[in-house]
């Protein structure tokens, strides 16, 4: 089964844990990885990498530098990602395990790139996922999350935007990325308030 067909099948099987009906475009991926520095050895965490549309661009951007940790809930995709990208530490895990996984590795994230669906950001025991992400970031760290333009006004999207503004000093929304199906925007949040 091809990447697009496999993605669609996973979405049909589990639309609440598969964020998209198909892989993201290169244009969207480039916007998502923009905060990754061109120098040094950054720690980049990818949440919900799926079949690797962002992973490939992150790996190209890193060029063998730093540490790339990918957390994927779908065990088959996590295994395939590790095989396809040997430079990525691919872990089958829930995004909420991020703080513990980073502590185990004695790392702090410089950039977190998220391909997760809105439902994954819902609070658990009163704690939104974005707070855990912000706490896992270095003081000057950045977080990116994409959203389809037609979902931006839905209550979960508005709640996440409020959470981003509460947890980060700066949150900006990109222009629409028209070269993606469906068109999308990227939320870029910088400098977590609690770091």
Q: What's 64's DSSP letter?
A: T
CATH number at residue 137: 3.40.50.150
Tens digit of each residue's pLDDT (9 = 90 or more) over 61-92: 999 999 999 999 999 999 999 999 999 999 99
Mean pLDDT for all residues in the chain: 90
pLDDT of residue 152: 85
Q: How many domains does the chain have?
A: 1
Position 8 in a domain: no
Residue 128: both structure tokens together? 């939104």
Q: Does position 7 have pLDDT exceeding 80, yes or no?
A: no
Residue-range definition of the domain harbouring residue 121 = 23-192
In a domain, 9, yes or no: no
| pLDDT value for 2 | 52
Please report the pLDDT score of residue 153 as a whole number. Answer: 85
What are the DSSP calls for 142-155, one per residue? EEEEEEEGGGTTSH
In a domain, 110, yes or no: yes
Q: Is residue 7 part of a domain?
A: no
**95 in a domain, yes or no?**
yes
- What gap in Å lies between CA 4 and CA 53, rounded to an integer? 11
Tokens of 106: 């004695």
Q: Are strands 67-72 and 109-114 parallel, antiparallel or unpaired?
A: unpaired
In this prediction, residue 156 carries a pLDDT of: 86
DSSP at 181 = S
What are the distances in angstroms from CA 47 to CA 61, 99, 114, 153, 193? 17, 12, 5, 23, 21
Query: 140-174: per-residue pLDDT in tens?
Result: 999 999 999 988 888 888 999 999 999 999 999 99
């Amino acid at each position: 089964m091809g990447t697009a067909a496999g993605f669609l099948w996973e979405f049909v099987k589990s639309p609440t844990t598969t964020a998209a009906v198909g892989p993201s475009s290169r244009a969207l991926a480039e916007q998502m990885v923009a905060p990754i520095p061109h120098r040094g050895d950054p720690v980049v965490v990818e949440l919900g990498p799926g079949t690797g549309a962002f992973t490939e661009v992150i790996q190209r951007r890193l060029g063998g530098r730093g540490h790339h940790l990918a957390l994927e809930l779908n065990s088959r995709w996590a295994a395939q990602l590790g095989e396809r990208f040997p430079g990525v530490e691919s872990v089958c895990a829930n995004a909420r395990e991020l703080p513990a996984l980073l502590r185990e590795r004695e790392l702090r994230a410089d950039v977190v790139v998220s391909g997760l669906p809105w439902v994954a950001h819902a609070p658990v025991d009163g704690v939104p996922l974005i707070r855990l992400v912000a706490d896992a970031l270095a003081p000057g760290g950045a977080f990116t999350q994409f959203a389809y333009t037609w979902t931006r006004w839905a209550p979960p999207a508005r709640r996440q935007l409020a959470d981003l503004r509460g947890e980060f000093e700066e949150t900006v929304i990109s222009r629409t990325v028209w070269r993606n199906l469906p068109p999308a925007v990227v939320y870029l949040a910088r400098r977590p308030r609690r770091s």
